[in-house]
Amino acid sequence: MNESLFSYGTLQYEKVQLETFGRLLKGTKDVLSGYQLSSVEITDEDVLAASEQKYHLIAVPSGLETDTIEGVIFEITHEELLSADEYEAEDYKRVKEKFQSGREAWVYVAV
């Protein structure tokens, strides 16, 4: 079963994709409304090693449709979605949202 996963941060990096999924992902640009970006300090050593960044972006719900986040919706397998769950730090939760294109996809947002 295929899944759609929106990324606005490190899951767009080739190194992170190769380490998390074992391949480079294909996707299309899209926009998430009702959220704004913040940052979170990452302490998980595996995530730090893969992303090579101490601070990651995090989507925080604002409730305002004028707040938007640009990113990419990737098509992945269910098993790859579980791998993405493992990669994302405990500061994130996965939710399904509707995007400006009308598509629905999973996205990691602030807990």
C-alpha 13/C-alpha 98 separation (Å) is 23
pLDDT value of residue 81: 97
pLDDT for 74 beyond 90: yes
CA distances to 4, 8, 59 from 62, in Å: 23, 16, 9
CA distances to 22, 98, 107 from 84, in Å: 12, 19, 10
pLDDT digits (tens, 9 = 90+) for 8-63: 999 999 999 999 999 999 999 999 999 999 999 988 888 888 898 999 999 999 99
How far is residue 97 CA from its own chain's centroid? 12
In the chain, the domains with their CATH numbers are 2-110 (3.10.490.10)
pLDDT for 1 beyond 80: no
pLDDT for 68 beyond 80: yes
C-alpha 41/C-alpha 43 separation (Å) is 7
